[in-house]
Amino acid sequence: MFQFLYSQLIRLILPFLLLRLCWQGRKAPALRRNLGHRIGLVPRIPGAVVWVHAVSVGETIAAAPMVRRLLAQDPDITILMTAMTDTGLAQARRMFGNRVRYAYAPYDTPGSIRRFLNRARPRILVIMETEIWPNMIRQSRARDVPVFLINARLSERSARGYHRIRSLVAPIMQSISWVAAQAEKDAERFRRIGVAPSKVEVTGSVKFDVDIPEDVRAVSVALRQTFAGRPVWIAGSTHSGEDRQILAAHRAVLANHPNALLILVPRHPERFEAVADQTLREGFTLALRSRRQDPASAQVYLGDTMGELMMLYGASDLAFVGGSLVERGGHNPLEPAGWGIPVFSGPHIFNFETIYQSLLDEHGVKLVADAGELASHVSSLFVDDQEREAIGRRALAVVNKNRGALDKVVKGIIERV
């Protein structure tokens, strides 16, 4: 009954979802060109297909080392990467070019999933983190396609919600072949909502296996040289309501370090123009990365490009990770930590609680309450090279200490195929 009611609801709202995509397609034409993907009309794919579903940019980046490892171990397989967002697929294309196939994920109606499976014919389905789509999971298992939740996490709040309707979601949970959980508390929550204990394993987070390709390192070094020794800090993946606080913090930093540079990288590309306008209205001089403008005389360098955040972290002295001064739950702090630079975040980090706890335990990250506290720490570290480098080393040590989840995940996938 739950499956029937859920499917009927998705069918009812599908026309509105498609209309919304058409509207969004005014600024992102790819959304319109590939509208058929959303109802399962993807190109037919020959060969042994491994379907990797990553909802958006963060999950796509997390999947990258796993995809590279799978391709290296079996060059004959075909990786099909899907995402719900245009930014997620754009990120995947930048990382893999023509080495993998791409499609937008179908909406979770029975017909859309059936058409998608008929055309893609995946051998396995790998879902990054916790995208639990009932029809996607159950129809895949009905065709004997193993379903793996990789880098899986489940908050206590979500677990309580699922547990209240445990009898309804149990058939979905029982269709999952393997859960590779980030931490024991995530594993316990999955067991609690109906995944068989034998199918749940704690592998750690694959995000600790930070992968910085050599070409990214080279571009980062070259960019850093253009800053001519200026103190540089970056605010990555910022959200609406957060940029104002970051700019206020930078104003305070400039009072102590007049030649300081802020690299500001909004999370969503549709906000690039608005953030640029806001920066100028508040009186800062601005250079745009997308126009290759020289940041030499700018106070703010706007990272208004896609797929370059990891590189921009490497060109900075220290980093603030966004989505955390507003209640969005934060973003991945391991990307800057992998460069060995100090990491700051606001108090709202519930999306990455396990990772942040590992960093906090080793004093590799600092949580700040507001813009004033952030500015104070940034200013003090700009004049204390030894402390800045020590914090960065501690952050990198946490990354290196926790590497290895990727090996477990790839081994687990290959063993279960």
Catalytic residues: 59
The torsion angles phi and psi of 103, rounded to 5 degrees, stand at: -160, 155
Two structure tokens written together for 159:
């677990």
CA 332 to chain centre: 7
Q: How far apart are CA 373 and CA 366, in angstroms?
A: 10
Least Cα distance to 214 among 343, 314, 93 occurs for 314
What 8-state DSSP symbol labels residue 182? S
Residue 344 forms beta bridges with which residues? 320, 366
Q: Tokens 């895949």 — which residue? A: 140
The total number of residues shown for the chain amounts to 417
Three-state SS letters, 238-292: ECCCCHHHHHHHHHHHHHHCCCCEEEEEECCHHHHHHHHHHHHHCCCCEEEHHHC
Q: How far apart are CA 119 and CA 134, in angstroms?
A: 19
What 8-state DSSP symbol labels residue 43? P
Describe the crossing of helices 272-281 and 243-256 by its angle, rounded to 10 degrees.
40
What b-and-e string marks burial along 398-407, b requiring 16 or more CB atoms within 10 Å of the CB? bbeebeebbe
Query: What is the widest separation between alpha-carbon atoms in the chain?
Result: 65
